[in-house]
Amino acid sequence: MNWLDLVALLALGQYFLFASLVGRARGKYGVKAPAVTGHEVFERFYRVQMNTLELLVIFIPSLLLAAKYFPANWVAAVGAVYLLGRAVYAYAYVKQPAGRALGFVLSAGPTMCLLLMALVGVLRQA
Amino acid sequence: MNWLDLVALLALGQYFLFASLVGRARGKYGVKAPAVTGHEVFERFYRVQMNTLELLVIFIPSLLLAAKYFPANWVAAVGAVYLLGRAVYAYAYVKQPAGRALGFVLSAGPTMCLLLMALVGVLRQA
Amino acid sequence: MNWLDLVALLALGQYFLFASLVGRARGKYGVKAPAVTGHEVFERFYRVQMNTLELLVIFIPSLLLAAKYFPANWVAAVGAVYLLGRAVYAYAYVKQPAGRALGFVLSAGPTMCLLLMALVGVLRQA
């Protein structure tokens, strides 16, 4: 099993799920496109998606670049923590934005870690 | 011809075009940075760009990962539907947000399809 | 030294920095999540991050694809201009949004350049 590709694809799928929940919340809370404000709970779903997007654009390239310099399965394991962290983040944020810290740390942390691993890999080769 | 790379690059170029249209709409409808609201038509251009961004971050990695497991030209063909769908989406959304469903399905559908193809590819190898 | 990977990773790190500054500005200017408006300076930091995100999703794939068709170090050099341009852009935008043009040109320009290089590379192989 190519765990690295699996983690990358699950991260993309997880983000797609968050985006779908925004679409559903649009209907449920009566926020018509192109507006992205107007109901507090809709805005939470929207911020979960946006914040995940903001992290995902770092996560995917860092994951793939880190795997050029470190064993793919170690890299995939760090990526798996991100997947868990984002799930915790989304659940907590929608319930109550103030409770989003743990999930944030558990997903931004692994992302930072992958970026640093890749940087260390590049610099060690110099 | 590397059709896969061509489709990836055209998707990036199409998104760049949508982003440029937002810049132009900023001037035309008098929405000064950093504001992103204030005129309905500007907001439509902005939402086209944002929605395309939201999809593009799934589309590009899914396209490239799917091509690791399926013939590149099949994958490129699915990607070409996305390009068409996004063009339809942008045109319809700016005209009237309520009419964006067809273009959305024709671009989110192929993106989902590529993501599932890549997932099937990974899991089949297990 | 793999300059190409280094430039890609620095671009991701730079974006991470911009995102962190948004988090800090949230506290400093009292803009509580999920709101993304409410204080002009906060909105500038937020727009710097968003605009960088919008460009980064084109920059990273274009950088990597251009390097399939042109010498990696040339491609990395174009990418280095982007890094500088984004730094100028962020600094100027936060100070005064109207002064963001130079940094924008110095980062959107290289991104466009990389996208065109990759396109030329694909089409020349045809």
At residue B108, the pLDDT reads 97
Interface B–C counts its CB contacts (< 8 A) at 57
Tell me which of A36, A47, A54, A124 to substitute to probe the interface with C (most C C-beta atoms closer than 10 Å). Answer: A54
Helix pair angle (B3-28, C101-124), 10° resolution: 150
CA distance C102 to C19: 21
- Going by the DSSP 8-state scheme, the letter that residue A99 receives in this structure is G
Instruction: Choose the closest CB to A97 out of C5, C12, C33.
Output: C33
Q: Tell how many helices (H) and how many strands (E) occur in chain C.
A: 4, 0
At residue B2, the pLDDT reads 96
Mean per-residue pLDDT of chain C: 95
The pTM (predicted TM-score) of the whole model is: 0.95
Neighbours of chain A (3+ CB pairs under 8 A): B, C
At residue B37, the pLDDT reads 86
pLDDT, mean of residues A56-85: 98
Tokens in use for A6?
Answer: 């699996």
Inter-chain residue contact A53 with B53, CB threshold 8 Å:
yes
Q: How far is B33 from chain C (nearest CA, A)?
A: 7
Query: Token pair 């993309």 is at which residue?
Result: A12
The confidence band for A106, taking pLDDT boundaries of 50, 70 and 90, is very high
Instruction: Choose the closest CB to B1 out of C53, C68, C126.
Output: C126
pLDDT tens digit sequence for B27-54: 999 998 788 888 999 999 999 999 999 9
For residues C89 and C107, is the Cβ–Cβ distance under 8 A? yes
At residue A92, the pLDDT reads 96
Q: How far is C16 from chain B (nearest CA, A)?
A: 16
Residue C20 CA, distance from chain mean position: 15
Tell me which of B2, B4, B12, B15 to substitute to probe the interface with C (most C C-beta atoms closer than 10 Å). Answer: B12
pLDDT tens digit sequence for B52-83: 999 999 999 999 999 999 999 999 999 999 99
* B3-125 CATH fold: Four Helix Bundle (Hemerythrin (Met), subunit A) (1.20.120)
At residue C83, the pLDDT reads 98
At residue A52, the pLDDT reads 97
At residue C80, the pLDDT reads 98
How does DSSP assign chain B, residue by residue? --HHHHHHHHHHHHHHHHHHHHHHHHHHTT--TT---S-HHHHHHHHHHHHHHHHHHHHHHHHHHHTTTS-HHHHHHHHHHHHHHHHHHHHHHHH-GGG-HHHHHHHHHHHHHHHHHHHHHHHHT-
Inter-chain residue contact A12 with B58, CB threshold 8 Å:
yes
Give me the interface pTM, i.e. the ipTM: 0.93
The confidence band for B85, taking pLDDT boundaries of 50, 70 and 90, is very high
pLDDT above 90 as % of chain C: 90
pLDDT tens digit sequence for C11-63: 999 999 999 999 999 999 999 878 888 899 999 999 999 999 999 999 999 99
A77 pLDDT higher than 80: yes
pLDDT, mean of residues A31-38: 84
Q: Does A15 touch chain B (CB under 8 A)?
A: yes
pLDDT, mean of residues C70-84: 98
Instruction: Choose the closest CB to B12 out of C58, C93, C123.
Output: C58
The three state secondary structure string of C60-115 is HHHHHHHCCCCCHHHHHHHHHHHHHHHHHHHHHHHHCHHHCHHHHHHHHHHHHHHH
Q: Does A54 touch chain C (CB under 8 A)?
A: yes
